[in-house]
Amino acid sequence: MVKDAHQVWVEDPSKLDFQNANHYVAATPVASKSILKKTASSTSKGGPASNPAVIKIIKETTTKMKKKKMICSLPIDVTLFVYEGSVLDMEAPYDAITCPCEGVLSDLIANEVGKAYYEKQLEAFRDKDEGAIFSIKGKGDKLSNTRIVHIVHKRSHFDDSAQSLNSLSWRTEKLLHFLNNSYKCVTLPCLLPGKIQDLRRPVKNFVQEILDFCVTKDDVNIKEIHVVDTNPTIVKAITSEIRSICTSPQAQKGVLNGANSASNYGWTKHTSLELSDAKASVTFDAKAASATSTTDSECPICSETVRDFVTLPCNHQLCKKCTDNIKKVKPQCPFCSKTFGTVTGNQPPADMYFRSSPYSLPGYDECSRIEIVYDVPAGKQTPEHPRPGRSYDAVRRRAFLPDNEEGRRVLHLLRRAFDRRLIFTIGESRTSGMEGVVTWNDIHHKTRPYGGPEGFGYPDPTYLQRVQEELAAKGVNE
């Protein structure tokens, strides 16, 4: 959905009740052979898919200035307001007004707070890169209690190409995350390119980003999002997009019937692919290794001369004592690293959900995408963890895969790894440095749909190959 942008991989605790924070329907999906179509019957009743959260129009009214105003409810108790006018009409007591560093809105704010003051405040941020976000203190009768949040955005740098539109979507997502840190009542501009033929495309992405934020963001603090624009054409395009979502047959079916099928983009709750529940230990596959030696030889590990040798599936041999010691740590050949047993971890209790989304990923424009959510509730460490009895916080993590043959294979492998309790562990966070928290367990996930390798997103042509190698290293290869 979004291309060539950069966003850090964030690890934040989640307090969101995923059982009631459900899916929405935004558009007809790109045609693909979704794995969800094969697993729709396993959708868990009571899970995310059984209570779809679709954007809902509460009412259509007028502003103080007698302009049309649409009020909508979003997931997680967020209210969306869309109306024509100026932010300086102060339709609500905004905590933060967001605007590009140049343009009509920026000029209006400069006139309100005083051009000299405004220019002085901006001077410290003149060297900021495109897409950077910063805030300054408001001033004057209307803005004395309001922060002015700026994003470095020059419309002339963008056109209606897919790459430009995806970059604009990234800026919207970045703005929402920035605003969520400190503010509850905010304005949000629909960022547009300088040259555009079809307004519907950036508007669709804009609304999609708002919905994505409300459904997948940990700890949503924003309560009101006000989309205000002096251009009636833009406002009409946004309200039309919202109406198209609300009147979608798929959305209506989801509301009325529970949306348990993949065609409604419902979440499927993962059910075990393993024959038995995984335990936090290493299981030795007796069939994968056998004692075949009948003559005395020197073990290449301990250098002892013994007869009781074990031949691993890779045909390497070592003594039974060394084999037993290795399998206690990890059933993997010390010479070629081939796994000869089932590796399981100490992942705390968790749930895994996945679904097919109608939007694509950069580099995979020919297919839709798979979205994954891992939900780990708060709990206490057990004897298999570093500090038994110590509490750890709940977390939610999301990930993205292309919904093509290889992406579906990776999803299958991740589900297998989840069964074996290999996705998470409890230890020190590489992001925050905190100890005793739920962290990834060396199986890399794309936690953003964009941003490239350095931003833990796409495009990344070799990611699917790399993650399969990481899974194979843990014995997950089927």
Q: How far apart are CA 407 and CA 34, in angstroms?
A: 10
Q: Is the pLDDT of residue 358 over 80?
A: no
**Which one is predicted more confidently, 290 or 45?**
290
Going by their DSSP bridges, the two strands 78-84 and 68-74 should be labelled as antiparallel
Q: Is the pLDDT of residue 170 over 60?
A: yes
Q: What is the pLDDT of residue 27?
A: 32
Please state, rounded to an integer, the average pLDDT across all residues of the chain: 78
Look up the CATH number of domain 1-52+260-276+344-478.
3.30.390.130
Confidence of residue 388 (pLDDT cuts 50, 70, 90): very high
Q: What is the pLDDT of residue 383?
A: 92
* For the chain, percent of residues with pLDDT exceeding 70: 77
What element of type H or E holds 109?
A: helix 104-113
The CATH class given to the 53-257 domain equals alpha beta
Q: What is the pLDDT of residue 15?
A: 33
Q: What is the pLDDT of residue 33?
A: 40
Q: Which pTM value belongs to this model?
A: 0.58
**Which one is predicted more confidently, 137 or 251?**
137
CB proximity list for 451: less than 8 A, separation 6 or greater: 5, 6, 7, 170, 457, 458
Q: What is the pLDDT of residue 23?
A: 31
**CB–CB of 254/25 below 8 Å?**
yes
**Which one is predicted more confidently, 462 or 455?**
462
Q: Is the pLDDT of residue 477 over 50?
A: yes
Q: So where are the chain's domains?
A: 1-52+260-276+344-478, 53-257, 282-343
Q: Name which of 213, 222, 177, 223 is nearest 53 in CA terms.
A: 213
Structure-block tokens of residue 236: 């009409």
Q: Is the pLDDT of residue 41 over 90?
A: no
**CB–CB of 191/168 below 8 Å?**
yes
pLDDT in tens, 77-126: 899 999 999 999 999 999 999 998 888 888 889 998 999 998 888 888 87
**Which one is predicted more confidently, 281 or 226?**
226
Q: How far apart are CA 132 and CA 174, in angstroms?
A: 9
Q: Residue 324 gets which letter from DSSP? A: H
Q: How far apart are CA 98 and CA 107, in angstroms?
A: 13
pLDDT in tens, 73-87: 987 789 999 999 999
Q: Is the pLDDT of residue 295 over 50?
A: yes
Q: How far apart are CA 461 and CA 452, in angstroms?
A: 9
**Which one is predicted more confidently, 387 or 3?**
387
Q: Name which of 283, 475, 279 is nearest 383 in CA terms.
A: 279
**Which one is predicted more confidently, 316 or 183?**
183
Q: What is the pLDDT of residue 218?
A: 64
Beta strands in 33-100 (DSSP E): 56-62, 68-74, 78-84, 96-100
Averaged over 331-338, what is the pLDDT?
77
Cis amide leading into 348 (omega within 30): no
Output the CA–CA distances (angstroms, integers) from residue 383 to 201, 268, 276, 327, 426, in the order listed: 53, 32, 21, 20, 12
pLDDT in tens, 464-474: 999 999 998 88
Q: What is the pLDDT of residue 179?
A: 95
Beta strands in 28-77 (DSSP E): 56-62, 68-74
Q: How far apart are CA 282 and CA 292, in angstroms?
A: 23
CB proximity list for 368: less than 8 A, separation 6 or greater: 29, 30, 32, 34, 356, 357, 358, 359, 360, 403
Q: What is the pLDDT of residue 404?
A: 94
Structure-block tokens of residue 254: 């989801």
**Which one is predicted more confidently, 451 or 259?**
451
Q: What is the pLDDT of residue 462?
A: 96
Averaged over 355-382, what is the pLDDT?
88
* For the chain, percent of residues with pLDDT exceeding 90: 35
Q: What is the pLDDT of residue 54?
A: 60
Averaged over 334-358, what is the pLDDT?
83
The CATH class given to the 282-343 domain equals alpha beta
Q: What is the pLDDT of residue 60?
A: 94
Least-confidence region, from 60-64, 328-332, 394-398, 411-415: 328-332
282-343 and 53-257 share a CATH fold: no
Confidence of residue 252 (pLDDT cuts 50, 70, 90): very low
Q: How far apart are CA 218 and CA 237, in angstroms?
A: 29
Q: Phi and psi for 230 in degrees, rounded to 5? A: -75, -15
Q: Is the pLDDT of residue 42 over 80?
A: no
Q: Is the pLDDT of residue 34 over 80?
A: no
Q: How far apart are CA 18 and CA 449, in angstroms?
A: 20
pLDDT in tens, 395-453: 888 899 999 999 999 999 999 999 999 999 998 877 667 888 999 999 999 988 877 88
